[in-house]
């Protein structure tokens, strides 16, 4: 199913790809589990929104784009940032609010930014980053480049006006945005049915004459295939797309909603966990012979080590110095006047 | 020097900066084909084409966000608000995206954007189109706020705003677009942000005012000069950063201060200026700081009622006389 036709022997390429996809998904899962632990220990403060359950979307999508392409996301963005290529140590340090964090401890969990991998944030006002994505695509076209931007958001952004404004402008001006809706069925505690007159989210794309598809967000290869098509369209002539990846978050909305059980049943959560994207892909990779049991063990160990290292790095990183307090309010200038 | 209108000065600033820097583009409602609701962008579509003069549908939050996104990756957008009243629809983008991006990204993504258009009280435009919007913006750390009162300032400050690496809110006025003044033609003429101008030198009372109110203050000063009262008028030009140095130096000279502002008085610019002067020049003051402000109410349509809501020279004179204990 992986669309990776090249001159290389298929099995070898599939094995490499499978290893990469599984490693990244496992890294995100392990990273998030560890972040939850660190939150419980008081190492991480504020709001913490975990991505557990949705890993196939970020990893499948990011596996189709180039390093010079852009990605932008909401506040549930640790997975997108890691999948775009950020160093887990610096991501964890940012969650810890430390000097060596991506944003020097000034942004936190909801505001991860990494210029070195073209990751444009970490935005915590629902829907607000969709026009920003359209703007980045505007800049790409303005310069005559062939990059694209992947814009992640949840089903909670769909009723916002900015979803519609951003989609309309991107389609009107033919800008290379892949609007990637991660429909996990709950905007905080409000289910899709209680929020949208049209619950088939991909259909909104048709209102803007935009290619729109839905995909099983628990199937990393399916996500990869659908996003790859959207990327190809965007790169070819700037055509934007709306992709609705149907997924599920296994944890609550944030660490302050640990069980996530008031607005959904335990049975539903347990049923969805049967479709764990990582378990599904492990089984598939074994069955197809892409990966062996030994490979899986190796991947798990590698990921665990990487996350342990990230925690150690974050823990060792100093608090930001006081001299950093007032820097970065404005670029290249201290606040003048009063 | 050339004599031109405030509108022409803005237009010239845009042209010069667009010729100078390929990254600069103009985006907004009716900026291209219609040539601007107030004709500030007249002729720009013809010179620069639709790639750089971008007409948008009515979607303030959307196109402001487009500007901010484009700025994050290196372009230098000038976003036109047909009037600043409409900027309320983009307030989240301005406050939560533009103003905070550089800080919350630890300095990785700055937003070199100018958001410009007319604001403040105009003539009989009623409650939703006649209000001073600067107060919504200068309160927000990360934004610079400019209110240019003269054609020369309009040109020099807009050019600086476009060259600034940070978000700049640039609020013009419907009532000033047609005023004429001398404007330097040098394409390198700029005015730094954060530098107030002394519009009239005097010794008895410092009056701080900008935009239309600066002209009312000038009228008041002319009138009072007949009685031998000498007024110094300080125009802040930019409200953030605020040139407190020039303001305080003037107050230390005259020992009396009056703020005249068009916006509603409650927690307005006059409140801030009054606090700054009282905190930093208390011992120099011979009288309390006087404020003359717009009424704390929605603007009425009827022109008699409207006139009572906007300060005029007579009210400025009354406040100045209070500061001098002449009443």
Domains and CATH numbers, chain B: 2-183 (3.40.50.970), 197-323 (3.40.50.920)
In this structure, chain A runs to a length of 338
Restricting to B residues 240-269, those with a Cβ less than 8 Å away from any Cβ of A are 240-244
Contact residues on chain A for B51, CB-CB shorter than 8 A: 142
CB B45 within 8 A of CB B73: no
Contact call for A135 and B109, based on CB within 8 A: no
| A88 exposure class (CB count in 10 Å sphere: 0-12, 13-18, 19+) | buried
Rounded CA separation A270/A156 (Å): 22
| CATH number of the structural domain spanning residue A50 | 3.40.50.970
Distance from CA of B238 to the nearest CA of A (A): 10
Residue of chain A nearest B107, judged by CA positions: A328
Q: Residue B27: is its pLDDT beyond 50?
A: yes
CB-based contact (8 Å) between B22 and chain A?
no
Residues facing residue B28 across a β-bridge:
B55, B80
Q: Residue B250: is its pLDDT beyond 80?
A: yes
Distance from CA of A75 to the nearest CA of B (A): 13
pLDDT at B170: 98
Rounded CA separation B293/B309 (Å): 8
Contact residues on chain B for A330, CB-CB shorter than 8 A: 102, 142, 144, 165-166
Reading chain A (338 residues) residue by residue, the pLDDT tens digits are: 344 334 444 456 689 999 999 999 999 999 999 999 999 999 999 999 999 999 999 999 999 999 999 999 999 999 999 999 999 999 999 999 999 999 999 999 999 999 999 999 999 999 999 999 999 999 999 999 999 999 999 999 999 999 999 999 999 999 999 999 999 999 999 999 999 999 999 999 999 999 999 999 999 999 999 999 999 999 999 999 999 999 999 999 998 887 777 899 999 999 999 999 999 999 999 999 999 999 999 999 999 999 999 999 999 999 999 999 999 999 985 443 33
In a domain, A207, yes or no: yes
pLDDT at A11: 57
Residue ranges in chain A assigned as alpha helix (H): 10-40, 55-62, 78-84, 88-95, 129-143, 161-172, 192-195, 203-207, 220-237, 266-273, 277-288, 293-316
| A299 exposure class (CB count in 10 Å sphere: 0-12, 13-18, 19+) | buried
Contact residues on chain A for B56, CB-CB shorter than 8 A: 169
Contacts of A338 (CB under 8 A, 6+ apart): B241, B242, B244, B276
Considering only CB atoms, A166 lies closest to which of B62, B96, B102, namely B62
DSSP A159-186: TSHHHHHHHHHHHHTT--EEEEEEE-SE
Contact call for B103 and A329, based on CB within 8 A: yes
Distance from CA of B303 to the nearest CA of A (A): 36
In a domain, A235, yes or no: yes
Check whether the bond before B241 is cis (ω within 30° of 0). yes
In a domain, A88, yes or no: no
Percent of chain B scoring above 90 in pLDDT: 100
CB A26 within 8 A of CB A56: no
CA-based nearest residue to B90, from B71, B53, B116:
B116
CA-based nearest residue to A331, from B301, B108, B194:
B108
DSSP A93-137: HHHTT-TTSTTTTSS-TT---BGGGTEEEE--STTTHHHHHHHHH
Interface test with B, best of A77, A137, A138 (most B CBs within 10 A): A138
B184 backbone dihedrals φ, ψ, rounded to 5° = -60, 135
Contacts of B224 (CB under 8 A, 6+ apart): B230, B231, B317, B320
Domain residue limits at A213: 10-67+127-312
Give the catalytic positions of B in this structure.
Answer: 60, 129
Q: Residue B120: is its pLDDT beyond 80?
A: yes
Please give the tally of structural domains in chain A. Answer: 1
Nearest 5 degrees, angle CA A106-CA A110-CA A115? 65
In a domain, A186, yes or no: yes
Q: Tokens 């008041």 identify what position?
A: B220
Contact call for A131 and B72, based on CB within 8 A: no
Q: Tokens 């950063």 identify what position?
A: B241
User: ipTM value of the model?
Assistant: 0.97
Residue of chain B nearest A118, judged by CA positions: B73
């Amino acid at each position: 199913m992986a669309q990776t036709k090249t001159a290389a022997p298929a099995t070898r390429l599939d094995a490499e790809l499978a290893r990469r996809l599984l490693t990244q998904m496992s890294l995100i899962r392990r990273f998030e589990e560890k972040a939850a632990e660190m939150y419980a220990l008081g190492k991480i403060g504020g709001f913490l929104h975990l991505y557990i359950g949705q890993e196939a979307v970020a990893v499948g999508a990011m596996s189709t784009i180039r390093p010079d392409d852009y990605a932008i996301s909401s506040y549930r963005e640790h997975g997108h940032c890691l999948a775009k290529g950020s160093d887990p140590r610096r991501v964890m340090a940012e969650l810890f609010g430390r000097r060596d964090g991506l944003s020097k401890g000034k942004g936190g969990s909801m505001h991860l930014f990494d210029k070195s991998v073209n990751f444009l944030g970490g935005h915590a006002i629902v829907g607000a980053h969709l026009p920003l994505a359209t703007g980045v695509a505007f800049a790409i076209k303005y310069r005559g480049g062939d990059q694209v931007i992947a814009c992640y958001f949840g089903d909670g952004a769909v009723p916002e006006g900015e979803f519609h404004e951003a989609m309309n402008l991107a389609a009107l001006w033919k800008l290379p945005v892949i609007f990637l809706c991660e429909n996990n069925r709950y905007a905080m505690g409000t289910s899709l049915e209680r929020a949208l007159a049209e619950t088939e989210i991909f259909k909104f794309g048709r209102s803007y004459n935009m290619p729109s598809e839905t995909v099983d967000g628990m199937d990393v290869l399916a996500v990869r295939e659908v996003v790859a098509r959207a990327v190809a369209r965007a790169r070819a002539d700037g055509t934007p797309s709306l992709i609705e990846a149907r997924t599920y978050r296994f944890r609550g909305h944030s660490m302050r909603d640990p069980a996530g059980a008031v607005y959904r049943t335990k049975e539903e959560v347990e049923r969805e966990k049967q479709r764990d994207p990582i378990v599904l892909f492990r089984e598939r990779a074994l069955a197809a012979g892409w990966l062996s049991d030994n490979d899986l063990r190796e991947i798990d160990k590698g990921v665990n080590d990487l996350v342990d290292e990230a925690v150690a790095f974050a823990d060792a990183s100093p608090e930001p110095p006081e001299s950093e307090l007032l820097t970065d309010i404005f670029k290249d200038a201290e606040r003048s006047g009063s | 020097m050339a004599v031109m209108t405030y509108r022409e000065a803005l237009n010239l600033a845009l042209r010069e900066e667009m010729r100078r820097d390929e990254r600069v583009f103009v985006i907004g409602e009716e900026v291209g084909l219609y040539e601007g609701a107030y004709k500030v962008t007249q002729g720009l579509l013809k010179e620069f084409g639709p790639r750089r003069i971008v007409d948008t549908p009515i979607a303030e939050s959307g196109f402001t966000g487009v500007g901010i996104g484009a700025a994050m990756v290196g372009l230098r957008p000038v976003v036109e608000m047909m009037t600043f009243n409409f900027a309320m629809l983009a307030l989240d983008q301005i406050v939560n995206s533009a103003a905070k991006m550089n800080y919350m990204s630890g300095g990785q993504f700055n937003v070199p954007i100018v958001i410009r258009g007319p604001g403040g009280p105009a003539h009989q435009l009623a409650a939703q189109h006649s209000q001073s919007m600067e107060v919504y913006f200068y309160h927000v750390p990360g934004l610079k706020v400019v209110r240019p009162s003269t054609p020369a300032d309009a040109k020099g400050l807009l050019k600086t705003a476009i060259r600034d690496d940070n978000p700049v809110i640039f609020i013009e006025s419907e009532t000033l677009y047609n005023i004429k003044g001398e404007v330097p033609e040098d394409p390198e003429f700029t005015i730094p942000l954060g530098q107030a101008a002394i519009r009239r030198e005097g010794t008895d009372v410092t009056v701080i005012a900008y935009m239309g109110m600066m002209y009312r203050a000038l009228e008041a000063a002319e009138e009072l000069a007949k009685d031998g009262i000498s007024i110094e008028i300080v125009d802040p030009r930019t409200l953030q950063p605020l040139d407190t140095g020039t303001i305080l130096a003037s107050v230390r000279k005259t020992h009396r201060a009056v703020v005249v502002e068009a916006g509603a008085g409650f927690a307005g610019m006059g409140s801030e200026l009054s606090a700054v002067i009282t905190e930093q020049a208390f011992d120099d003051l011979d009288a309390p700081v006087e404020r003359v402000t717009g009424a704390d109410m929605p603007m009425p349509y009827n022109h008699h009622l409207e006139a009572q809501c906007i300060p005029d020279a007579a009210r400025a004179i009354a406040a100045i006389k209070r500061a001098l204990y002449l009443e």
